[in-house]
Amino acid sequence: MKEYVMGNGAIALGALKAGVNIACGYPGTPSSEIIESLAKHPHEGLHLEWSVNEKAALEVAAAAAYSGARALVTMKQVGLNVASDPLMSLAYVGVEGGMVIVSADDPGPISSQTEQDTRRFADFARIPVFDPASPEEAFEMIQDAFDYSEKYKTPVIFRPTTRVDHGYASVEASDAYVPKAYDGFTKDAGRFVIFPRLSYKNHGLMEERNVRIGEDFSSYKFNTVEGAASEKAVLAGGISYMYAKEFLKDHPEVKLIRVATAYPLPESFLLKALEGVSEVLCIEELSPYLEEQLLKLAGKHHLPVTVLGKLTSHVPAMGENSADSVAAILRNYLNLPADAETNDASDLPELPMRPPVLCAGCPHRASFYAVKKAMAGEKTYYCGDIGCYTLGNSMPLDMVDTCLCMGAGVTMAQGFSHIDGEGKAFAFIGDSTFFASGITGVVNAVFNEADITICILDNSTTAMTGHQPHPGTGINLMGHDAGKISITRILEGIGLQKVVTVDPLDLEKAIATVKECAAIKGVKAIIFKSPCIAIEKSKKKCTITESCINCKKCIRETGCPALTLADGKVVIDTLLCTGCGLCKQVCPVKAIGGDEG
Amino acid sequence: MNKDILICGVGGQGTVLASGIIAASALAEGHIVHSAETIGMAQRGGPVTSHVRIGADAYSPLIPFGKADLILGFEPSEVVRNLRYLSKDGLAIVNTAAVKPVTASLSGSGYDGTEMTEYLSKHTRCILTDGDKECEKLGSAKFLNILLLGIAAGSGVLGLQKDTLVSVIEKRVPAKFLEANMQAFLNGFTIGQTKGE
């Protein structure tokens, strides 16, 4: 039967059809729904987990793949940086059962720190990479990825991008999935214990094998040539192939070459596809990977072909491609007139900006506000981290001075404390990020005698990526209650000067707690504990009473989206308000009431 | 049938449910469907769009500029922001009630959507409806998405049967809100029929 699913759902269904035995991942947009989709199909012989981070996920899966099982690992592109240590070594050791690492790229970037390109990581690690262009393809291609992995006993990377992950299409689903039958682990120290001698030997074998895989890929069904034999050709990969295909359906006189396996490059396929071609335009997102490979190929074989793309400014170096940007690029390349069908957009009225903000009632707003008030007038360093609370940077809170990568807030605050003994350094980190990569940073702080205050913004979920459970929430993906791991007890075990928990919505107490902790030398932690408003739905509402003097302090200080102006007067949007009561505590004339449930 | 429908609004307005219902209805009538959603950081109060593409001619999930048969707009400035997607003879269904961004409240800018609505009525074929007022009749702004869907259905632009949409809505909305949602759909349907002429 056909099921209409998100691309990430299609990847999950494909993996199930391929008999996946174990799937591990760490949430990250745009990859998160793969594991969530798998969780809708629990069955005997399938272990599922949200791992504590991507490195853990990859290592758990690697042991399963050593045992002959089929293993799936999912993450976003920056997650692959975290998993790169085991990945690089695993490439040398190889696997017994099929192992597919899904690393979802985010051109734009829409929800990421970088516009890095996973295809380069595959090349760097010397392992194959598959590049699906649609949810339907992703469903088929992930099954092929498992087969190739098993055939060549190497982990492979599967690289969808946002529009494939979050596009919807119909794919074949089943009621019953049969996990692969596997033999189990056979001890073989010469194979599974990485030593310099083994690495030397396997490095040679990998390079020799990759030539064979490139040949194998030359007949892979998703590496295709369409259109007529033309001197001017187009080469595309990923979703850009679909954009090009959609435009070129009205121009069948143009040759369209599609490369679905960027590494190892299908050389024979490309040499044949480029016969008679004098100019080729490469359309791809993120890095000019295919373009550079083509330049190498042309150099190696002395091909009389001009290669155009990002390196020649025919395609933008950064950002996401779209149906329109690709159409414009192709019109320019093929000397076609501009499309007259588009609405004239020259005299549009000025549009309001809508930067993403913390939700109305978000407890993070109250936590940031408490620290801001407590530290008013002091020299401070506010080190942020990755999660919803990165939005604490926006006005009027303006409480994030740095944001680098997962877990960096805790460690960067230490750097500031060592370099400037005067300033007060704060780290803000969410509960899920704390478990993912915050703990080792806290250990570092205590051991190296930093003077910092760590603010754990504990909303009991992984909110930004869609509310996944984590070790602090107890229930795991197998549906078992593993017991909540206590952040307080972890911090106490590490030996901090002070560990205190406070409700951020109790503003007075929260401010007093921050002042008290900031005054103590050493490593202190404040756990601001209050659930995400999307998890614990509140029926409470705040109301503005007649004593409002319209000073707008509530709007200016909190920036809560539920507070707006109507005819110059402050009003509360009752649909958004959760009755958190922060504005009530900020109001100088006590004109805000309500919050009865 | 080939239809390209762009749904736009502000994160939290319920655009995803509307696109899901349109896609499921088209599938139920045997069409090939592709769609795409905004997910991630932008969901938090930022502009969001859903692209729904019905028919075999669509390869990519994103509608090219100038090809949308319908813009289903949950907020007037978001319709203007996405106007380039609308085809020359396409229809814009617009909720005229503005969602004011925090930045506008902070700066005290007077954005209230009026300018957007005026621009739209001058430059496009559109059905304008004050969603706030219509939702007041229904008792909650939660029904805006189904109301707008009803307008689209009533105008005939979706090319989908009313019965199909109704049966999908029955499956998709929580039982305790079904009655109110049905009323929202029917109210919208009448608006669409009347103004879509």
User: Measured between CB atoms, does A357 come within 8 Å of chain B?
Assistant: yes
Measured between alpha carbons, how far is A16 from B92 in angstroms, rounded to an integer?
A: 41
pLDDT, tens digit (0-9, with 9 covering 90-100), for A102-136:
999 999 998 899 999 999 999 999 999 999 999 99
Q: What is the pLDDT of residue A429?
A: 97
Handedness of CA A51, A53, A59, A65 (dihedral sign): positive
For residues A443-450, average pLDDT: 98
pLDDT, tens digit (0-9, with 9 covering 90-100), for A197-231:
999 999 999 999 999 999 999 999 999 999 999 99
Q: Write out residues in chain B with pLDDT < 50, as ranges.
A: none
Helix (H, G, I), strand (E, B) or coil at A263: strand
Query: Is B60 within 8 Å of A559 when comparing Cβ atoms?
Result: no
Q: Band of the pLDDT at A597, cuts 50, 70, 90? A: very low
Q: What is the pLDDT of residue A572?
A: 93
User: Measured between CB atoms, does A242 come within 8 Å of chain B?
Assistant: yes
For residues A392-418, average pLDDT: 96
Chain A residues in contact with B58 (beta carbon < 8 A): 246
Please report the beta strands in chain B, taking only residues with DSSP state E, as ranges in sequence order. Answer: 3-10, 33-37, 47-54, 68-73, 86-95, 125-129
According to DSSP, the residues that pair with A25 across neighbouring strands are: A50, A74
Domains, chain A: 2-216 (3.40.50.970), 224-333 (3.40.50.920), 363-529 (3.40.50.970), 542-594 (3.30.70.20)
Please report the beta strands in A152-199, taking only residues with DSSP state E, as ranges in sequence order. Answer: 156-158, 167-172
pLDDT, tens digit (0-9, with 9 covering 90-100), for A464-486:
888 899 999 988 998 899 999 99
**Higher local confidence (pLDDT), A83 or A346:** A83
Burial class (CB within 10 angstroms; exposed 0-12, middle 13-18, buried 19+) of B40: buried
Within A452-506, residue ranges assigned H as helices are 487-494
Average pLDDT in chain A: 95
Query: Is B45 within 8 Å of A357 when comparing Cβ atoms?
Result: yes
Under 8 Å CB-to-CB from A502, ≥6 apart: which residues?
A: A509, A510, A513, A526, A527, A528, A529
**With 90 as the cut, is the pLDDT of residue A507 above it?**
yes
Cα distances (Å, whole numbers) of residue A60 to A24, A54, A55, A468, B8: 8, 10, 9, 19, 41
For residues B119-133, b (16+ Cβ closer than 10 Å) or e, as one string? bbeebbebbbbebee
State which CATH number among 1.20.1050.10, 3.40.920.10, 3.40.720.10, 3.60.15.10 fits the domain covering B3-195: 3.40.920.10
The continuous run of DSSP H or E covering A48 comes out as strand A47-50
Measured between alpha carbons, how far is A432 from A461 in angstroms, rounded to an integer?
A: 7
Closest approach of A439 to chain B, Cα-based (Å)? 25
Q: What does DSSP assign to residue A55?
A: H
Q: Can you give the C-alpha Rg of chain B in angstroms? A: 16
Candidate from A74-88, A361-375, A465-479 with smallest mean pLDDT: A465-479
- Is the ipTM higher than 0.85? The answer is yes
Under 8 Å CB-to-CB from A346, ≥6 apart: which residues?
A: none
pLDDT, tens digit (0-9, with 9 covering 90-100), for A247-297:
999 999 999 999 999 999 999 999 999 999 999 999 999 999 999 999 999
Single out the residue of A203, A201, A32, A22 nearest to residue A98, CA to CA: A22
Q: What phi, psi does A426 have (nearest 5°)?
A: -120, 145
**With 50 as the cut, is the pLDDT of residue A81 above it?**
yes
* Domain range annotation of chain B: 3-195
Query: Is A246 within 8 Å of B59 when comparing Cβ atoms?
Result: yes
Q: What is the pLDDT of residue A348?
A: 86
Q: How many CB atoms lie within 10 A of CB A526?
A: 26
Query: Is A343 within 8 Å of B83 when comparing Cβ atoms?
Result: yes
User: Measured between CB atoms, does A257 come within 8 Å of chain B?
Assistant: no
Q: What is the pLDDT of residue A176?
A: 87
Contact A225, A255 (CB under 8 A): yes
**Percent of chain A with pLDDT strictly greater than 70:** 98
Query: Is A242 within 8 Å of B80 when comparing Cβ atoms?
Result: no
Q: What is the DSSP string of B70-84?
A: EEEESSHHHHHHTGG
Q: Band of the pLDDT at A567, cuts 50, 70, 90? A: confident
Measured between alpha carbons, how far is A533 from A575 in angstroms, rounded to an integer?
A: 13
User: Measured between CB atoms, does A236 come within 8 Å of chain B?
Assistant: no
Which tokens is A333 given? 């390349």
Q: What is the pLDDT of residue B1?
A: 84
Contact A283, A240 (CB under 8 A): yes
Q: Band of the pLDDT at A499, cuts 50, 70, 90? A: very high
User: Measured between CB atoms, does A246 come within 8 Å of chain B?
Assistant: yes
Chain B residues in contact with A345 (beta carbon < 8 A): 83-84
Measured between alpha carbons, how far is B67 from B182 in angstroms, rounded to an integer?
A: 30
Measured between alpha carbons, how far is A52 from A50 in angstroms, rounded to an integer?
A: 7
Name the residue of chain B whose CA is nearest to A465's CA. Answer: B40
Q: What is the pLDDT of residue B40?
A: 62
Tokens 């507070």 belong to residue: A563
**With 80 as the cut, is the pLDDT of residue A372 above it?**
yes
pLDDT, tens digit (0-9, with 9 covering 90-100), for A183-202:
999 999 999 999 999 999 99
User: Measured between CB atoms, does A200 come within 8 Å of chain B?
Assistant: no
Q: Can you give the C-alpha Rg of chain A in angstroms? A: 27
